[in-house]
Amino acid sequence: MVDFADSPEQAVFRAEVENFFAQNFPAALSVNDNDDPRTREEGEDGPEPEVRKAASKQWRAALVDKGWIAPAWPKKYGGAELSPMEQFILNETIAERGAPRMGVPDVGSTIMVHGTEEQKAEFLPPMVRGESRWCQGYSEPGSGSDLASLQTRAIRDGDDFVINGQKIWTSGAHLANMIFALVRTDPEAPKHRGITYLLFPMTTPGISVRPLVQMSDARGFNETFFEDVRVPVKNAVGEINRGWYVGATHLDFERSSIGSAVGQMKMLDTLKDYLTKQRDAKGGQSRLGQPDSPRLEIADRYIEATVAKTLSQRVISMQARGLIPNHEASMTKVFSTEFNQRIARTATKALGLYGGVRGGDAPQYVPMGGRWGTMYLSSVSSTIAGGTSEIQRNVIATRGLGLPRG
Ligand SMILES: Cc1cc2nc3c(=O)[nH]c(=O)nc-3n(C[C@H](O)[C@H](O)[C@H](O)COP(=O)(O)OP(=O)(O)OC[C@H]3O[C@@H](n4cnc5c(N)ncnc54)[C@H](O)[C@@H]3O)c2cc1C
């Protein structure tokens, strides 16, 4: 039998995390059932935005002091050198408490693997201090799933590259002050071998950003244009023309998403508690006790939450052995993002006609702050971002199962 209980060392660490939360986690950041998850991102406005902003700053400072803002990183770069299992315990507590997501961007982990000492010293500390905000310049209008066909050109000119071209779907480019981008440095080479991974400030002359508005009304991503943008050659991570492999490491980190499984279980708990308390018009039966009750569907979601957690634990155990999960990360990504969509569908269905209401002037008709209607819309894109579910299944089929390419 597999025993998922904490080992004695893990129990000691869990107690340390609990204690840290008790001492440092500001009450103003706690979630309640009526919180809208759209307010859960760091720095975004929510109810009482000033109070939350101040609390958010205070919480971030506590995490930075402890090194838990970058739990996996070496202490010399502001991290805490936690083991993957300790990171999981920390993430678990963060999700259980409904604490906002704070941390360092995945590009930091990529720099840690492929960057020079100078690059680590220059780029990692501002990430820890929350001074740099990064966006990802990978996709182009003609290159998404077939990313290696990208055309944004970088031509060497002395100690600089000069970049011309266009990226698309650049999440947060309008807020970012830094970008990591894949650019073509050798158009003659086979497509995977002429690409370089570059880091540069978004304030570099020649960069312009145009917003793309999503169907959930969010203004999450952008088109990003480069016109004669000069970037020092020393800002290339890894070897020039070998950036494809650096970019792939980044995607493996992005897809592993440790900790989301715990958050999903927490979401289900909140839904279950809300539905259990809901009564019919006469104040009798709970919604879950009625003949058309969604309880069997909720039971299915709980089974899936357990599967999601097991998949995450597999990724963690690989990281604990110093391995970078590849098709295992794809399994976690495809399962967890499709699972998010199923959770949103179950919740909106369970809440009936009001389930999809997301806002408006009559909050009494907006169950649980409208979070499920929002999640129903926003979860659609998660099976596309970071590589579509079809691409993940291709990775699992070919690299995981050894099946031939289609
Ligand atoms: C919310 C969100 C945030 C994003 N953020 C960023 C970002 O910050 N930076 C960035 O660079 N990009 C970002 N992207 C872009 C994302 O990486 C691409 O949308 C994704 O890789 C798919 O590319 P595409 O949109 O060009 O679709 P296409 O590649 O044109 O695919 C169209 C359809 O064909 C299918 N398909 C394509 N090839 C195959 C194949 N070989 N086998 C089977 N099916 C296939 C796909 O699965 C898909 O269903 C983001 C996307 C979303 C939705």
Residues lower than pLDDT 70 in the chain: 1-3, 31-48, 216, 255-259, 280-283
Nearest residue (by CA) to ligand 1, atom 43, is: 390
- Domain covering 134-242 in this structure, CATH number: 2.40.110.10
Residue 182's identity, in one-letter code, is L
With a 6 A CB cut-off, is 385 part of the ligand 1 pocket? yes
pLDDT at 201: 98
pLDDT at residue number 37:
41
Q: Give bridge partners of residue 369 from the DSSP assignment.
A: none
Angle between helices 295-320 and 260-277 (to 10 degrees): 160
Q: Are 164 and 150 in contact (CB under 8 A)?
A: no
Give the model's pLDDT for residue 83: 87
DSSP element (H, E) containing 263? helix 260-277
How is domain 257-400 classified at the CATH fold level?
A: Butyryl-CoA Dehydrogenase, subunit A; domain 3 (1.20.140)
C-beta separation of 319 from 332 below 8 A: no
Q: What is the pLDDT of residues 340-349, one digit of tens each?
A: 999 999 999 9
Question: Distance from the CA of 386 to the center of ligand 1, in angstroms?
Answer: 7
Task: Report pLDDT for 321.
Answer: 81
Q: What is the pLDDT of residue 378?
A: 85
Q: Is the CB of 367 under 6 A from ligand 1?
A: no
The predicted pLDDT at position 96 comes to 81
pLDDT at 133: 94
CA 381–ligand 1 middle distance (angstroms): 9
Nearest CA to ligand 1 atom 40: 391
Identical fold at 134-242 and 257-400?
Answer: no
What's the pLDDT score for residue 138? 96
Q: Is 214 in the pocket of ligand 1 (CB under 6 A)?
A: no
Give the span between the Cα atoms of 291 and 287, in whole angstroms: 9
**pTM of the entire structure?**
0.87
In a mutational test of the pocket of ligand 1, which residue from 106, 110, 145, 334 has the highest number of ligand atoms less than 8 Å from its CB? 145
Give 11-24 pLDDT, tens digit per residue: 999 999 999 999 99
Q: Tell me if the domain spanning 8-103 has CATH number 1.20.58.
A: no
| Calpha distance 268→259 (Å, rounded) | 15
Give residue 397's pLDDT. Answer: 97
Domain boundaries, the chain: 8-103, 134-242, 257-400
Q: Which amino acid is at 114?
A: H
